[in-house]
Structure 1
Amino acid sequence: MGTEHPLFRADLAAAHDHAFGFHADNCAPGVLALLEPVRARDGLVLEIGCGSGLLTRHLLDAGHRVIATDASPAMLAIARAKVPEAQDIRRLTLPGDPLPPADAIVGVGHPLSYLPGHTEVRTALTALVRALRPGGILAIDLCDLGWHAAKHGRPAQARLAGDWALITTFHTPAEDRSAFELTVFTRNPDGTWRRDDERHDLVLTDTARIPSWFADTGLEVTIGESFGSETLPAGLATVVARRGV
């Protein structure tokens, strides 16, 4: 691994922390309800794609022990400041990095969809379920094939705050691919502005096929449209897997 991940550099990480907390807030009640048996036995939660610690905060406030991980050093720097009481906050890049055994594995914001291709997504998902201890629960979201229709032709979006602005342009190069082009403007201490550009390519997964991938493992795998009663963006699917005791 290099010293810096190409996605979510410092300026975008800071803007994302302010602009997209609503997704973690919306998902948290459903995720926490799924993880209640894990909390009751003081199990360990591994969070992938923790970003700046937005869902991590909900997990910790509910009484969970959490190892929070992400591939972006800039995101991890914010998380270390915001959720220092996590059991550990560490860099982890899927699908290759080893995973600690856990009683629950969670991830919102479709972290696996940022991987290079379908093989990597399946390899990473397999590694996650293998890391589940007996009685363990996996709860993540993924960009489904329906993401393409939801984003195709969508106009650019802009978000503005006092010290930053974020412009997002959507691309759908193929039925199983999507992309964001993100331009973030950040105010310097002297009042001038600096600009940084990132492109995020996403793999769209046929999530209906995922249960068949694990048919011989004894896992109970459910594909849904939400973790609980929240409404997720169109094309975002939930994957919940339970390992028997």
Structure 2
Amino acid sequence: MGDWYKADLAYIHDIGYGDFADQAAVEILVCFQAHQIELGLVVDLGCGSGIWADHLVQAGYQVLGIDISEAMIELARNRVPTAEFRMESLFTASLPTCQAVTALGEGLNYLFDAEHNSSRLGSIFQRIFDALESGGLFLFDLVEPGQVEQGQVSQGFREGDDWMVLVEKQEDLEKMILTRRIITFRQEGRLYRRDEEIHRQQLYNAEEIAEQLSQIGFQVQISNAYGEYELAIARKAITARKP
């Protein structure tokens, strides 16, 4: 469905950045228990390589994972064969009745899908509200402006035993767009294969998103963390409960 999170970047993201899903999962499960969500179906939007889905299945939940990346879906199916995974856009996917919906890792910010624009958020929020059982939860994190100073470009890298990733970021505050240029190197035999992806994210203000959710009928809380796990700069976690 697009040239995003192809095989090499999906592999690198899974092995090199999976700590986010692992650490957030522990705290979100505590949140589920606090809201008496102890079983049933959880819909995981932008499920990635299935790390969070694996935590859910081990805790006794049913899982439907949705992601636009074919490579990510393949990793998820291999990791959690007992869960259901579908390759499609989270902005157009039909949602079954469920106890919780999650979108971890900035899934609602990504502009991978031609259907994604700020005016469509209200539509997906309404579909999530309608799909949730009474007392159900919608948990997600999003990116706000502030990762990079206006007019500046940030650069960084990370490496593992058989891979390296270089990331260049810049923000356009007029259009509220964050652009990431991602260059990957993955070892194959004695050589390294190079690939490149451009990811664009629509930046949002968490307070404005919370207001949209409230108008639909959710009870909303904004935080800088999932429980005890603090998010990185310019990220917010939102917990929305259907009364």
TM-score if structure 1 supplies the norm length?
A: 0.89
1:103 counterpart letter in structure 2: Q
In structure 2, how many angstroms separate the alpha carbons of the residues matched to 1:238 and 1:179? 21
Which residue of the other structure, out of 24, 27, 33, is the alignment partner of 2:24?
Answer: 27
Whether contact under 8 Å (2:66, 2:90) holds in the other structure is no
Contact 2:148-2:154 within 8 A present in 1 as well: no
Structure 1 residue runs of 4 or more that deviate by more than 6 Å after TM superposition: none
Amino acid at match of 2:159: L
Could you tell me how far apart the structure 1 residues matched to 2:30 and 2:230 are?
Answer: 16
Q: Are the structure 2 counterparts of residues 192 and 103 from structure 1 closer, same or farther at C-alpha, using a change threshold of 3 Å?
A: same
Alignment of 1:211 onto 2:210:
yes
> What are the ranges of 5 or more consecutive residues in structure 1 without an aligned counterpart?
none
Q: 1:154-188 deviations in whole A, cap 9, x for unaligned?
A: 63111122221111111112252111110011122
Deviation at 1:148, TM superposition (A): 4.9
**CA deviation digits over 1:93-144, x for unaligned, max 9?**
0322222221100121010100343223343333322321222111111112
> For 1:243 and 1:34, how far apart are their aligned partners in 2?
14
Query: TM-score, normalised to structure 2's length?
Result: 0.89
**What amino acid does structure 2 have at the position aligned with 1:45?**
V
Contact 1:112–1:124 (Cα < 8 Å) also in 2: no
1:163 matched residue in structure 2:
162
Aligned residues: 237
Q: Name 2:124's counterpart in structure 1.
A: 124
Summarize the alignment of residues 79-228 of structure 1 with structure 2, pairs less than 5 Å apart. 79-86=76-83, 88-115=84-111, 116-149=116-149, 153=152, 155-174=154-173, 176-189=176-189, 191-228=190-227
Deviation at 1:152? 7.1
Distance, in Å, in 2 between the alignment partners of 1:65 and 1:47 is 10
Secondary structure at the aligned position of 2:127 is classed as: helix
Output one character per residue of 1:189-237: Cα deviation in whole Å (capped at 9) or x when no partner. 3x22221100100111111012322334432111211120111001111
Contact residue 39 and residue 63 of structure 1 kept, 8 A: no
Residues 224 and 239, structure 1, Cα contact 8 Å, conserved in 2? yes
Assess if the C-alpha contact under 8 Å between 2:145 and 2:173 holds in 1: no
Where in structure 2 are there 5+ consecutive unaligned residues? none
Once superposed, what is the RMSD of the aligned Cα atoms? 2.0
Q: Is structure 2 residue 52 aligned with structure 1 residue 55?
A: yes
Rounded to whole Å, the distance in 1 between the matches of 2:73 and 2:151 is 31
Q: Counterparts of 1:76 and 1:180 in 2: how far apart (Å)?
A: 22
